[in-house]
Structure 1
Amino acid sequence: MEIQSDEKKRDFILDEPSPRGVLEIPILSPCSDHSGSSSSNSTEKLVPEREGNLLQWKSMLDSFKKKSMRRFSVIPLLNNYDIIAKRNLKRKLTRMQNSPHVVIDWEGMPIPKPSWRNFDYAELEAATDNFSSENLIGKGGHAKVYKGCLSDGQVVAVKKIVKTEKEEQGRIGDFLSELGIIAHINHPNAAKLLGFSIDGGLHLVLEYLPHGSLASILHGGGECLDWKKRFQVSIGIAEGLLYLHHDCQRRIIHRDIKASNILLGEDYEAQISDFGLAKWLPENWVHHVVFPIEGTFGYLAPEYFMHGIVDEKTDVFAYGVLLLEIITGRHAVDSSRQSLVMWAKPLLQENNAKELADLRLGNDYDPAEMKRAMLTASMCINHLPSMRPHMNRVVQLLKGKEAPIDLKQKTNAGRAVILDGCDIQDYTCTSYLNDLNRHMQLVME
């Protein structure tokens, strides 16, 4: 069952009550309902002690009525929720900017004070030429990304949160959650946030990287990315995920690792971007169970799209798909709806590098690096999460720092994971393929 507490903790503490105010009415005895109307007739017959009690009750009722009227008067109507939500958002962001050098987050953990800048909407509008379609460099289900040039000449990427079916309160919650996660991140292989804007909508301003996304390079039809750069990018992504999973102050699960969310810098250094779906895991939690299932089809681990289970192995599976994408130059799901994972599995089992490698590479790749990349990808896309490596081992395998262990001899291979009454160790590749096809049909309908 999904534990929702992290969704609530991700917001900073409000210093005004929730807009969904509750009118608390004390339960009085039946006779108290008539105490006001009968008091004039009954007071003369009461002994002093009971008379004192009656006066005390009347005083409490008068006080309660006044408080109740005040409470009721501040409960906003539904059409005022957006105003209240934005007011709370401004207060939270102002508190972060005006805080000391160390910020205490919602669980008491100290984090460095963010150095983000609060941009005016007019400045972002001018930088992107009124968010011109010509400056659109990326698009997803929840946001659009525009290239912009600030007045001082700095080139930036502006992520504009688009309207969705969610209420304003939900969008602001997601926005704050992304900011809260980014506040903990400081790594060369993770995108750098420069600032934000909440005027005229919700915007994130990020460092612009000249080579754009990995997807645009691999599938853009331009110059072919050589193997040396591909392998460098693969290691950079792995080190970024290793940081998020193991070395960051929080255990952060990205949940949307894919080629379009990997940005490439001047020297083709990889940066993981877009933390809009990211989740953090408390140390004492094994996993999240989330709903609805969000992400990109083709990269979703079977336990995630079947049961909503999210942990580090969710990202490991997606990384395996991405590594195959880098090796082959193919999409995670092609135009005929064929899964890259299912296409590549037989070739990986046969260790057939010639058929697997991108045709544009020819034979221009390092055979040892290709072998390590293929082995790592095959381990990461295993349909059993317990058989997938953690990212620290992924980095070691890619760098050739650890002799590979036979998967059949892996120590945790015999550990069963119980999901909805089913032993996932009995979950065969055929079952996975059937569920993958069924899930694809639902997505594509």
Structure 2
Amino acid sequence: MVGQGGYSEVYKGNLSDGRTIAVKRLAKDNKSANKEKEFLMELGIIGHVCHPNTATLVGCCIENGLYLIFNFSQNGNLESALHGKRTKSLDWPVRYKIALGVARGLHYLHKCCKHRIIHRDIKASNVLLGPDYEPQIADFGLAKWLPNKWTHHAVIPIEGTFGYLAPEYFLNGIVDEKTDVFAFGVLLLEIITGRKPVDSSQQNLLLWAKPFMESGNITELIDPSLEDKYDSDQMHRLVLASAYCVRQSSAWRPSMSEVLELLTKGHDSEAAKNWRMPKCTSDSDELNDFSMFFGYHVPTDIDLEEFL
């Protein structure tokens, strides 16, 4: 076993032709009456996508359980690369490459598929890293089709990962492309800072980072393990894109097309000019709402690891 989630387990295996594979098995203790439907939904979505920055389905199996088979990622996932026990941290060119790759993958899901796909669970552990650290978006277990004539889904119950949930989704169950954009903004901050969305002391990454982003004090955000070895222009682009993506109001977040432009052109892009807004002050309604939303605490009746 190389990974485990709420509803599935992932195993490393080998095929007779020598290929190394990852086998995702629906957890046996999943008692949901809709588990077959959910399996077929994920199978339909992942079988529909085809992009260098999305996971590639190798096959499936319904004997003695429900299984999805993928190519195995030798470099693990982004979460282990950023937060795992490694002797060497990810250098800046690799981090920038991963940020761009995930953005391209999300742009593909939102804009280039025959049907719009909302992933709903963009996070570091769902970004696999190939042999050359090319990222692939994985785990479409929570993904939703969004018909062209629909502006959003209303989803109950709320599912996803604490720290990445957009306010409108967490509070009202509203799901659209901007749900993924918000989560991507948190992911960018994670890449920049090397910090988890919520750490062991319950500190929220967005609340910690927001004052530095607003003041322009970018150096305080940067992962100390980079030791000042980074491209300052690229760093500014990532911080700028993240700041736009994590805005509380979904209407003020850019699309992934605009995010890609921000990541490649920064302040000079049309997206930056179009989305520039007055800076929030500490007493502004948006910041107060933002702080209130992220001011919740870990419930005392459950284990911290279970909550995260």
Fold conserved between structures, TM > 0.5: yes
Q: Larger % of helix: which?
A: 1
Return the structure number with greater relative CO, CA threshold 8 A, min gap 6.
2
Give the Cα separation in 1 of the matches to 2:98 and 2:107: 14
Of residues 350, 364, 368, the one that matches 2:233 is 368
Aligned to 1:26: none
Match of residue 402, structure 1, among 249, 253, 269? 269
Q: In the alignment, which of 409, 430, 434 is matched to residue 292 of structure 2?
A: 434
Query: Could you say which residue in structure 2 is the equivalent of 1:280?
Result: 145
Find the counterpart in structure 2 of residue 220 from structure 1: 84
TM-superposed CA distance for 1:183, in Å, is: 2.3
* Structure 1 stretches of 4+ moved >6 Å: none
Q: CA deviation at 1:185?
A: 0.4
Give yes or no for the alignment of 1:351 onto 2:219: no
Cα offset for 1:162? 0.5
SS at match of 1:152: coil
Task: Provide the C-alpha distance between the structure 1 equivalents of 2:161 and 2:95, rounded to a whole number of angstroms.
Answer: 22
Question: 1:296/1:409 Cα in 2 relative to 1: closer, same or farther (>3 Å)?
Answer: closer
Superposed CA deviations along residues 182-228 of structure 1, whole A, max 9, x for unmatched, are: 12201000000101111111111101111010111101121210000
Task: Give unmatched runs, 5+ long, in structure 1.
Answer: 1-135, 411-425
Q: Which residue of 2 aligns with 1:234?
A: 99
> What amino acid maps onto 1:438 in structure 2?
Y
| 1:163 Cα deviation from its structure 2 partner | 3.3
Using the alignment, how far apart are the partners of 2:275 and 2:261 within structure 1? 16
- Hey, what's the Cα distance between the residues in 1 that align with 2:58 and 2:161? 26
Q: What is the 5 A alignment of 1:15-30?
A: none
Aligned partner of residue 428 in structure 1, secondary structure:
helix
CA distance in 1: counterparts of 2:285 and 2:36, whole angstroms: 39
Provide the rounded CA distance (Å) in 2 between the counterparts of 1:209 and 1:251.
26
Alpha-carbon distance change, 406 to 281 in structure 1, aligned in 2, over 3 angstroms = closer
Query: Shift of the alpha carbon at 1:408?
Result: 5.2
Distance 1:317 1:227 in 2: 22
The residue aligned with 2:23 is: 158
- Which of 175, 190, 195 is matched with 2:59 structurally? 195
Matched residues in 2 for 1:433 and 1:365: separation? 30
Percent identical pairs in the alignment equals: 50
Query: CA–CA distance in 1 between the matches of 2:45 and 2:213?
Result: 36
Aligned-partner Cα distance in 2 for 1:409–1:430: 17
Asked if the contact 1:369–1:398 (Cα under 8 Å) also holds between the matched residues in 2, the reply is: yes
One-letter amino acid of the structure 2 residue matched with residue 354 of structure 1: T
Residue by residue over 1:106-146, the C-alpha shift from the partner in whole angstroms, topping out at 9 and shown as x without a partner, is: xxxxxxxxxxxxxxxxxxxxxxxxxxxxxx21111111111
Alignment of 1:3-152 (within 5 A): 136-152=1-17
Shift in alpha-carbon separation, 1:304–1:397, aligned structure 2, 3 A: same
Measure how far apart 1:435 and its partner are: 2.7
1:258 aligns with 2:126: no
Kept after mapping to 1: 8 A contact 2:207/2:294? no
User: Could you give the per-residue CA deviations for residues 323-347 of structure 1, whole angstroms, max 9, x where no partner exists?
Assistant: 0000000001000111111111011
- C-alpha distance in structure 2 between counterparts of 1:432 and 1:440, whole Å: 18
Query: Given that residues 127 and 135 in structure 2 are in contact (C-alpha distance below 8 angstroms), is that contact kept between their aligned partners in structure 1?
Result: yes
Whole-Å separation in 1 of the counterparts to 2:72 and 2:144: 24
SS at match of 1:183: helix
2:281 corresponds in structure 1 to: none
Deviations 1:48-73 (A, max 9, x none): xxxxxxxxxxxxxxxxxxxxxxxxxx
Contact between 2:202 and 2:297, CA under 8 Å: does it hold in 1? no
Matched, 1:325 2:190: yes
Contact 2:254 2:275 (C-alpha < 8 Å) held by counterparts: no
Q: Distance in 2 between matches of 1:256 and 1:380?
A: 15
1:304–1:310 CA contact under 8 A, matched in 2: yes
Q: TM-score scaled to structure 1, two decimals?
A: 0.64
Question: What is the CA distance between 1:430 and its match in structure 2?
Answer: 1.6
* CA distance in structure 1 between the partners assigned to 2:185 and 2:292 by the alignment: 20
The answer for unaligned runs of 5 or more in structure 2 is: 279-283
Asked if the contact 1:297/1:440 (under 8 Å) is kept, the reply is no
- For these two proteins, the number of residue pairs brought into alignment is 294
